[in-house]
Amino acid sequence: MAFYKGEYVMKNSNMSQVDDINKIVIVGGGSAGWMTAAALANTLGKQCNITLIESDDIGSVGVGEATIPAIKQFNQRLGISEKDFISNTNGSFKLGIEFVDWGKQGHSYFHPFGAYGRNFDVVSLHQYWLRARATGDAESLDEYCMAWWAAKHNKFSLPIADKRNVQSTFDYAYHFDAKSYANYLRDYSEKRHVKRIEGLVTKVHLDNESGDINAVTLDSGESIEADFFIDCSGFRALLIEGELKVGFEDWSHWLKCDRAIAVPSEKTEPLLPYTRSTAQAAGWQWRIPLQHRTGNGYVYSHQHISDNDALDTLMHNLDGKALSEPLLIKFATGRRQKFWHKNCLAIGLSAGFLEPLESTSLHLIQTGITRFLALFPKKNGQFLLQQEYNRITQNEYESVRDFLILHYCQTERRDTDFWRECATMAIPENLQYKIDHFRQSGRIVASDIELFQNPSWLAVFVGQLINVEQYDPLVDARKHVDANKYLSGLRQTMKDTQGIMPDHQQYINAYCRMK
C-alpha cells in the first residue's frame, strides 16, 4: 500500500485542521516501536508530534533476525541505504529457508525467494515437472530454482533486471541483529523529531464518554496526552488488551508450540545465505547466520517436552560455542479480536503472535504500519477505517497461520506424540481446500490477496511430500512442447550461473562488511 497522508493533506489544505491528529504516542520500543516511529516520522513529517515511550528496564524479545523480501521495500521507503543498513546491523543475505526433517526424517527441501525457473508455456512449469516426476525422469524441484543453486553453494549476488536471464528469477531478504536494527531506526527517528521518553506506563486514562484513551501516566508521575496511541508493548498488550480488552483468539490447537529458547553462538564458516529450520521431537530449531555470530533457538510445545530437555536439545545442536545465557520466551499463538479499536492500534506482538517459522514477525509489523498510514484517520469518523483495517489484517494473519499449519499437518512423521498430533489434527477449511486442490491436480488456489504467493505454496506442498494424483491434462495435450529438453537446459544453466557468482562472504566483504 502507498502512503497517502501527504497527498490527502495537499488536497485538503484549505479545510479546517481542527479534527486532524496532531499528536501520536507509541508505547513500547524494540523493532515494532521504532519501525512504527520511523515510518510515521518519514510520512507525516513535522505536522504531527510523535512521542515514543520505552523503558530500558523492559527487555525486548529481539530474536526475530530473519526476514522476507518485502523488508527491502520498507527500508527503501525510508530512504535507507542497503549497504549502510546491513553494515550497521551485522547483516547477511537470505535466499530462502532450508527445512530439514519436516516431511520425514532424513529429508530436506528449500523454500526459495523467487520463482522456479521461468514459465516457457501457457501451462505452468511445475506441471511439466510433475509429469516428469511421474515418469521417473525429474530431479528434485529445488534444482529448477536459482535461489537454491546459489544457496546450496554459498553464493550470492544481487538479482539482475533482464528477465531473459535466470539471475532475474530469484529474490532475497536479510538476516540481521534485531536490536541493532531497532537502534538504527531509533537514530533515524530522532533525527526526524521523534521524541523518546524513558519510563514505564503505570496508568491509562480513558474518556468517560467515548472510551478513547486520553493519556498515559508514567512511573515518574508525568502524564502524556495524545490524539492517537499505538500499542507496541509486546506480549503485555498494555493498551489494546490491558485497558481496552478487545479479546484474543487462541490458535494453539493448530500451532501447538508455546515456548522458545534462544541463544547466540559463535560464527562458523561458511557464512550461509539462508535460514535453516530443523524439525525436532517437539517443535523445531532455527539457525540464522549473521556476520558476527549465529542466532539459534528451539521453538517447542512444553506439553511435549520439558524446558530442561528442550534446552539440552538446543545446546547439543549448536554449531559453535554459546555466547550468552539462553533466553526462555513463553507465548500464546493467536491474534487480537481487533487490532485497531477506539483511538488505539496494536502493532507487533501486542497485535498477535505467529511463530517465526517463515520469518513473518517483522513483516507483520511492516504491513500493519503501512496499512495504518494508507487508512490514516482524523480524530472523528474512524469506524469505517477501523473496520477495513481489521478486516484486511485478520485475513493476513489467518493466511499466514494457514501457511504455517501446512508445515505441521502434512508430514509423514509419527515418531513422537507431538508429530502424531500434528499429522492427525483437524485443520482450517480454507487450508484443507488448498491441500485438496494440489493433491488432486497440482493446482494452487488462493482465497484472497495473500502474503505467500504460488512459488511458496508449491515449495511447501512438494517439500512436505504431498502426492499429486493427476497433473494438469493440458500438459499431455501440448505435444509440441519439448518440456524435458527445457527443464534439463534450465537446470544446467542455473548450475553454470552459480559457478560464476561470488561467495556470500566475499560479496559481503566487498559490499557491506559490518562496522
Instruction: List, as one string, the DSSP characters of 350-366.
Output: GTEE--GGGS-HHHHHH
Distance CA 398, CA 251 (A): 10
The answer to whether residue 256 is catalytic is: no
Catalytic residue among 5, 94, 256, 434: 94
What is residue 509's three-state secondary structure? Answer: helix
429, burial (CB in 10 Å: exposed 0-12, middle 13-18, buried 19+): exposed
- C-alpha dist (Å) from residue 495 to 112, 189, 240, 368, 509: 16, 44, 51, 39, 24
> Reading across the β-sheet that carries 223-225, which strands appear in turn?
201-206, 213-218, 223-225
Alpha-helical (H) ranges within 319-449 are 361-374, 383-409, 417-424, 429-441
For β-strands 344-346 and 228-231, DSSP reports them as parallel
- Alpha-carbon span 366 to 373, nearest angstrom: 11
DSSP conformation class of 502 = P
In terms of Cβ atoms closer than 10 Å to its own Cβ (0-12, 13-18, 19+), residue 391 is exposed
End-to-end CA distance of the chain: 33
Rounded CA Rg of the chain: 24
Cell 533482464 belongs to 162
How distant, in Å, are the alpha carbons of 85, 108, 273, 291 from that of 295?
19, 20, 13, 11
CB 129 within 8 A of CB 141: yes
Determine the Cα–Cα distance for residues 465 and 104; give it in Å rounded to an integer.
8
Contact 365, 31 (CB under 8 A): yes
Residue 218 bridge partners (DSSP): 201
Phi-psi region at 293: left, alpha or beta (left = phi > 0; alpha = psi -120 to 50) = beta
Cβ within 8 Å of residue 462, ≥6 positions away: 109, 141
Q: What distance in Å separates the CA atoms of residue 130 and residue 214, rounded to the nearest whole number?
A: 60
Widest CA span in the chain:
79
Q: 3-state class of 133 per DSSP? A: helix
Query: Which residues are annotated as catalytic?
Result: 94
